[in-house]
Amino acid sequence: LYSPSGTPSEWREAIARVEARYGRMIWLIDGAFATPEWLRQYLPVVDGISMYANWSDQSQRELYARITDVMHREFPTKVFEGAVHTTYFVHFHYGGVQPALTEKYRRSWEITLAARPDSLTLTNFFDCYENSRVLPSYELDDVLLRIARHQIDLWKGRQPGESDTPELYVSNHTNVLLGQPLRFEVLGFPLKGPNKEVTVRLEVCDEEEKVLHAFPERQMLLDGLKVETFTLPSDRFLDRRAVHPRVTYRWHGGQFQSYPLPQTNLVTSLRPHVLFWCRALDHQIRIDTSRRWTLNGVGPGGTVTYPPDGVGVI
């Protein structure tokens, strides 16, 4: 029940009518803003709580502080489904929750697992419908799933998965407004065997793989999930449209290098976020609601010949 505005007695009646027709169901109520009194009011009627929202670390901690003891002590047989929030803005709110690359997501795992939930939901994954992508590509969503696998191992009391060779990821933002700092993370996951130390260097490249800036090398001891954060003023690159991160590393006598990763666009307004979303995810900007839209002078429903110079004007 995403927004349970009715009274518990109204829901009891509605649930009875639905189940009389369709059979027994499991009813979970959105506990994103629950209080102890609210839980005591609704949980006698439903089977448990789930969550869908995207909050700051502080508000998430405050929620679990309010409800964890009540769920475990007073309603131990009810479903307690916690929520881990990813790095995305909800509904594209620029004044909303600061994702801070994967930092917020990693803290959300720690906060949620400390509440000892029965099950988990990971909200806002691949959230392209609400235009709220912050990391550049599905390729970088892989790191969110890899963090999830690591944390679920810890949650289940298992030894986290280890790799035979260094498993390194870089996270960066889709767009950065010029004047705001460029931020990057290098994430490493547990290594098998005794050779767990990796020497990492992060490079910032242009589209032709020319190195524009190389950060000093850092040592990473990959005996667990480790993260190194790098920052750089964006106004050093006023003549660039985008920069690509690339990671090189030395390990066990060898030297290795990634290919240039998806770019951070350097932009002067918020509008490119919407355009990047359309291009990256093969979506379309709807123009049939306004007859003022044209592409090279052709309006909605018309046919545009590809221009000889490769430039189209919207």
The two beta strands, 242-251 and 264-267, are antiparallel
**Nearest one of 224, 172, 173 to 198, comparing CA atoms:** 224
Residue 121 predicted with pLDDT over 70: yes
The backbone torsions φ and ψ at residue 98, rounded to the nearest 5 degrees and listed phi first, read -80, 115
Q: What angle do CA 85, 185, 234 make, to 5 degrees?
A: 110
Contact assessment for residue 27 and residue 1, using Cβ atoms and an 8 Å cutoff: yes
Residue of higher predicted confidence among 127 and 241 = 241
pLDDT in tens, 287-310: 566 667 788 888 878 888 888 888
Residue 93's pLDDT is: 41
Alpha carbon separation from 254 to 164, 190, 217 (Å, rounded): 14, 18, 15
pLDDT in tens, 263-288: 888 888 766 655 655 555 555 666 56
Relative orientation angle of helices 103-114 and 57-74, to the nearest 10 degrees: 20
The two beta strands, 211-214 and 197-205, are antiparallel
Residue 306's pLDDT is: 82
Amino acid letter, residue 15 = I
pLDDT in tens, 4-17: 788 999 999 999 99
Average pLDDT over residues 184-213: 95
DSSP result, 192-232? SSS--EEEEEEEEE-TT--EEEEPPPEEEE-SS-EEEEEEE
Residue of higher predicted confidence among 19 and 278 = 19
Residue 54 predicted with pLDDT over 50: yes
Q: What integer best gives the mean pLDDT of the chain?
A: 85
Residue 102's pLDDT band, with cuts at 50, 70 and 90, is confident
**Token output for 154:** 């810890």
- Residue 10's contacts (CB-CB under 8 Å, 6 or more residues apart) are none
